[in-house]
Amino acid sequence: MGANFGKNYKISIFGESHGTALGVNIDGIPAGTELDLEFISQEMRRRAPGRSKLTTPRVEKDEFEILSGFLDGKTTGTPLAMIIRNSNQRSKDYSELKRKPRPGHADWSGFNRYNGFNDIRGSGHFSGRITASLVFAGAIAKQILKEQGILIAAHIKSVKDIKDRDFVESDITEENIDKLRNMTLPVLNEEIVEKIEKAVEKTREEKDSLGGIVELMVTGLPAGIGDPYFESMESELSRMIFSVPATKGIEFGAGFGITEMTGYEANDEMFYDEKGNIKSFTNNNGGIIGGITTGMPISFKVAIKPTASIEKAQKNCES
């Protein structure tokens, strides 16, 4: 099972949605790294369901326990192990899914991959619940990167046909990132919040669900990071992004829209900024060319499919 990722910062995740616990083992955190546990807890709460009427009703506190690699507020240099004990286990709700796989879920594909031995409860290891481990590892990585002047921001770009504006580099400040982190619906144009809420509620009343697009931007990365071909920056980022359940697409910079441009329009013309750094007037390539960072912000959008768990009846087959 592909539950491991990374080279310098290696993570290995484990657990199932309705098992005893889930967690992550992280190898590669420098010894003496001070961790902001409150920041990690805030990130975990952002991921946890039950925070608003727009999310799944399942309630999990996502209280983490660090088992090793951490002492007196700092990392020891050895692997850092974390677990989250599941408190909301409803195994009996899923007893029939072994023979009646649900459309849109990994029940059928997982059954075939693991010969029926996989834990089907709450989608098991395929559940979005497992992203709690990714959020924990990501919260630590964010702290390490921030110390190096690298900032990461994300917002909801669209829900169905309701669209937010695109990020611009000036949006990526600590103040704006904190503002987005504290919003139930993190958008740049707050006028669309009510529209999204109404669309979600209307769809829920119809016993259905919606998908959307998330836009991310990374600033502070110098030019020259990455490699061509099989270890390109796009390849490595995409590999991790597609580890998030329900991800169905990704595009960097202008993405598929770049196909509608001419070469002259698509090429990002360059200039020297006031500090003598080489920048570009546009960022159609999303801060990456040849698989290597250009020094411009890394910009990409991620497509998230509609939640598969819906109340509307659909056809399925018995296995």
pLDDT at position 234: 98
Convert the pLDDT of each residue in 184-235 to its tens digit: 999 999 999 999 999 999 999 999 999 999 999 999 999 999 999 999 999 9
Confidence grade of residue 8 (pLDDT, cut at 50, 70, 90): very high
Of 56-70, 196-210, 222-236, 292-306, the range with the lowest mean pLDDT is: 56-70
Which pLDDT value is given to residue 48? Answer: 80
Q: Which residue segments constitute the domains of the chain, with CATH numbers given?
A: 1-148 (3.60.150.10), 151-318 (3.60.150.10)
> For position 230, what pLDDT does the model report?
94
Is the pTM here over 0.85, yes or no? yes
Tell me the C-alpha distance between 29 and 33, whole Å.
7
**Would you say 270 and 280 are in contact if contact means Cβ atoms under 8 Å apart?**
yes
Contacts of 86 (CB under 8 A, 6+ apart): 15, 17, 18, 19, 20, 21, 22, 60, 129
Confidence at residue 94, expressed as pLDDT on a 0 to 100 scale: 67
Distance CA 44, CA 219 (A): 23
Looking at residue 319, its pLDDT comes to: 66
DSSP readout, 227-259? -SGGG-HHHHHHHHHTTSTTEEEEEETTGGGGG
Whether residue 289 is predicted with pLDDT greater than 70 in this model: the reply is yes
Tokens of 99: 């023979």
Q: Which residue has the higher pLDDT, 304 or 314?
A: 304
Residue 83 is encoded by which pair of tokens? 């677990």
For 35-53, the pLDDT digits (tens) are 999 999 999 998 887 666 7
Burial class (CB in 10 A: 0-12, 13-18, 19+), 41: middle
Mean pLDDT, range 141-157, rounded to an integer = 97
pLDDT of residue 122: 66
pLDDT of residue 1: 60
How much is the average pLDDT of 100-104? 82
